[in-house]
Chains A and B, each alone.
Chain A
Amino acid sequence: MLQHIRPAIVMIIAMTVITGLAYPLAMTAVAQLVFPYQANGSLIRVKGKVIGSVLIGQEFTSPRYFHPRPSATTEPDPKDPTKTISVPYAADNSSGSNLGPTSKALVSGVQAEAAKLARENPATAIPVDLVTNSGSGLDPDITPAGALFQVPRIAKARGLPDETVRRLVLAHIDPRFLGILGEPHVNVLELNLALDAVNP
């Protein structure tokens, strides 16, 4: 037994130096040099100011913007730090709802979201992504169906023809990788920036 003590201690120290310091720090240096935009969180600037990350969803409630999916993230309650309050798209505390399929809370939440959405576009069935929480609580995307569903509301709020907004959505669909991997999706922040560019 005793003969293993020195190798065990020296080995874990050597591995810490190689895999715990040299490896991540070298990767950081290379990443900062070769892919500085991605390595720093794919941050988007508008007029020089950082307004978010293209990869991290953010909350939109104004009728003039496309809305993201419901988000289950929380933050500590400022009044009572032992409790938490709902803060959608809190990007320092990612979380799903973790509600199971037979949960009353899940079904009543979906019902409430669906009722709200049905008022703005009663003619169309509601795409499921618009009423369900994403896994991360930070999903930057909605489905193309979820974006098209919101077109009438936005067109009305901005006084634009439906067709203009619809074209904008279709132009912002990210297709599957190589036509095979993943699902077509629309980045909400990019779409809203494009919307502001057309109709400030």
Chain B
Amino acid sequence: MAQVKTYVRPMQGWWRKNPFFVRYMIREGSSVFLAIYALILLVGLLRLSQGEAAWNGWLAALTHPVSILFHWLALLTVGYHAYTWWMVAPKTAPNIRFAGREIPEMLITGGGMLATLGASVVVYVIVRWM
């Protein structure tokens, strides 16, 4: 290409210009809540290793309204993250063939979502009643 004067458009605010990109940013952003939630759990493990008083202190901190608000927010965003995770799973899944055919995308997405829901119910039942 010969030397010509061209105009390069700025990228500023790119993700606000298309709903597809807004959903992508929420998907990526929701992982921050997941990371914070995992850190809180790890702190709990650390406090457990430090004895009963430390553990009870951690439990008490969880009942603080800020903590409860965060956990509701985390539940919502992680739920959305799980949904988007399975929506893109057909793109990342290895090329598995079953009886000579490729597994349909719907089966990977739907199966994954059902498995997530099933596992969540099982964990809830164990934590709540067992």
Physical interaction between A and B? no
